[in-house]
Amino acid sequence: MNIGVFGAGYVGLVTAVCLSDLGFKVRVVEKDRVKRNKLQEGVSTIYEPGLQEMLVRNLKDGRLIFTDDSPSAIQASEVLFVCVGTPSRPDGSADMSQIEAVTKEIVESSLDSEYKLVVVKSTVPVGTGRWIEKMSALYAKGRKANLEIASNPEFLREGAAVKEFMHPDRIVVGVASERGKSLMEDVYRSFDCPKLFTDSHTAEIIKYAANSFLATKISYINMVSDLCEETGADVALVAEGIGYDKRIGPDFLKAGPGFGGSCFPKDLRAFAHIGKSYGLNFGLLEQVMQINRERSQRMIRKLREQLWVLGGKRIAVLGLAFKPGTDDVRETPAISVIEALLSEGASVLATDPLGIAGFRDLHASLAERISFVQDPEEALRGAHAAVIVTDWEAYRQLDWADIKLRMETPVLLDGRNMLDRNEMRRLGFAFMAVGR
């Protein structure tokens, strides 16, 4: 089967590379020339375990090409995956302009052609499939674009994207016709997981509902974590204690600096906006977001409790990526932590194994006000305090006994509860964790 993919970001690139690895011939339309050329030369534009090797293998075998020639890619493909971005607009709603632009391109290149299934993999508001149908009719200007629109939300997590694409917990497809369903069954034939076929509205809602639920779990445990701190309880044990209950489950109950990344914050804003647009009270999600926004203030308060004055002090921020295993710094909790430190007059030296270049690029005005260093030990040398924002395994392996001697004052805030607090205190750190 010939497959077209629009957008070679996290989702599009992983989708394209994995589907080509399964034997499909995949043409990827990417409008960013620099990205496209790099990919065509076999250099992955994102860091994901296993992706680079698979990219090279499938390019070499001729099953994968990156192009800006969308008409040819559209004409050659039976199934077209739409994986472009749906970023937040200022009011929190999803910006649908990239999806709209792709719709136009697809319609204009498939007039009077054979049936094609357009599969929306991007995270989109309920009703998007209908909008695409409506716009398709308008762009076709009375001619016939033989397109069916399906929804196939993607649930992969960054840092484990290839593994999660290939071995998902489930596949959700919102599709109306038997023909469309059968094509999607062919695409996912080799996947051994529950496959849920629904209408497109249901599939679209499933994606936002899943992300909002997971983010709610995180804010919930963060709220409980604050209570644990005030009362001397241990949030990790509380999470374990509730997580054994199969109805609750142990995952997504790690207290920390709050959720970040390119999905949860954006998707919660969009889902709340969708609820509001239907006159519904989605105040629960407003609370989830509010709790998340307040995380950095709580961290700063803890530092102040140890250091008295933060102004003029040097603070090492360990971790810029929104979680370990990725170079992605979109909406990372590090932003609000750094902003809060700067507003206290502290100077910030930040480090991250993969995230520095992206942070400099994406958060340029904030990046100008801080310094970066690749080596965490260098970041810690002479610092008055360190804050762990991302739980990179490498931070566990640091020689903390030696680091303590090299810091100006050995104050350590483990924002991810990753270090052994008894050991750290034994080493002589003024050590703070989260919710314990």
Ligand X SMILES: O=c1ccn([C@@H]2O[C@H](COP(=O)(O)OP(=O)(O)O[C@H]3O[C@H](CO)[C@@H](O)[C@H](O)[C@H]3O)[C@@H](O)[C@H]2O)c(=O)[nH]1
Ligand Y SMILES: NC(=O)c1ccc[n+]([C@@H]2O[C@H](COP(=O)([O-])OP(=O)(O)OC[C@H]3O[C@@H](n4cnc5c(N)ncnc54)[C@H](O)[C@@H]3O)[C@@H](O)[C@H]2O)c1
Q: For ligand X, which is the closer residue by CB, 6 or 155?
A: 155
Site for ligand Y in 60-99 (CB under 6 A): 83-86, 98
Query: Got the DSSP string for 340-403?
Result: HHHHTT-EEEEE-SS-HHHHHHHTHHHHTTSEE-S-HHHHHTT-SEEEE-S--HHHHTS-HHHH
Candidate residues 66, 322, 359, 431; the one interacting with ligand X per rule CB under 6 A: 322
Residue 315 and residue 303 in contact, taking contact as beta carbons nearer than 8 Å: yes
Q: Which of 21, 30, 164, 327 binds ligand Y (CB under 6 A)?
A: 30
Kindly write out the interface string for residues 276-315 of this chain, putting x where it contacts ligand X by CB under 6 A and - elsewhere.
----------------------------------------
b or e along 393-410 (b: 16 or more beta carbons within 10 Å of the residue's beta carbon)? eebeeeebeebbeebeeb
As a whole number of angstroms, the distance between CA 97 and CA 86 comes to 8
Query: What CA dihedral angle connects 412, 414, 419 and 425, to 10 degrees?
Result: 40
Q: Is residue 266 marked as binding?
A: yes
Determine, following the binding rule CB under 6 A, whether residue 335 of this chain makes contact with ligand X.
no
Cα distances (Å, whole numbers) of residue 317 to 51, 267, 338, 356, 402: 29, 27, 8, 12, 18
85 binds, among ligand Y, ligand X, none (CB under 5 to 8 A by kind): ligand Y
Complex with ligand Y: residue 266 or 436, whichever CB lies closer: 266
Per CB under 6 A, the list member of 25, 31, 57, 157 interacting with ligand X is: 157
Report the run of H or E that residue 254 belongs to, with start and end.
none
Binding part of the chain for ligand Y, among 27-35, 73-81, 284-292, 406-414 by CB under 6 A, reads: 27-35
Does residue number 214 form part of the binding site for ligand X (CB under 6 A)? yes
Site membership for ligand X, residue 184 (CB under 6 A): no
Report the residue number, 30 or 164, with the smaller CB distance to ligand X: 164
| 252: contact with ligand X by CB under 6 A | yes
Using the rule CB under 6 A, give the single segment among 260-268, 273-281, 376-384, 401-409 that binds ligand X: 260-268
Active-site residue 263, yes or no?
yes
Q: Output the six-digit token pair for 213.
A: 């639920």
Nearest CA-CA partner of 85 in 168, 12, 156: 12
Q: How many CB atoms lie within 10 A of CB 149?
A: 23
Report the Cα–Cα distance between both ends of the chain, in Å, rounded: 54
The number of residues that bind ligand Y (CB under 6 A) is: 26
In the complex, minimum distance from the CB of residue 129 to ligand X, in angstroms, rounded to a whole number: 18
Beta strands per DSSP E along 92-238: 116-120, 147-151, 171-174, 195-198
Distance in Å, CB of 120 to ligand Y, minimum: 9
| Residue 123 engages ligand Y in binding (rule: CB under 6 A) | yes
Q: Is 12 in the site for ligand Y (CB under 6 A)?
A: yes
- If one asks whether residue 166 binds ligand X (CB under 6 A), the answer comes out as no
**Of the ranges 13-21, 25-33, 149-157, 398-406, which one interacts with ligand X (CB under 6 A)?**
149-157
Chain-centroid distance of CA 184 in Å reads 25
Which entry of 18, 83, 228, 263 is annotated as an active-site residue? Answer: 263
Is 188 near ligand X (CB under 6 A)? no
Q: Establish if 163 lies at the interface with ligand X (CB under 6 A).
A: no
Token pair recorded at residue 8 = 């070679």
Is 342 annotated for ligand binding?
no
Q: What token pair was written down for 114?
A: 């054979």
Q: Does 264 bind ligand X (CB under 6 A)?
A: yes
Q: Taking each helix axis from N to C terminus, what angle separates 283-293 and 264-277, rounded to the nearest 10 degrees?
A: 150
Q: What is the DSSP string of 199-250?
A: -HHHHHHHHHHHHHHHHHHHHHHHHHHHHHHHHT--HHHHHHHHHTSTTT-S
What is the set of active-site residues? 263
Per the annotation, binding residues for substrate are: 155-158, 207, 252-256, 260, 323
List of residues contacting ligand Y (CB under 6 A):
6-12, 29-32, 35, 83-86, 98, 101-102, 122-123, 154, 156, 158, 262-263
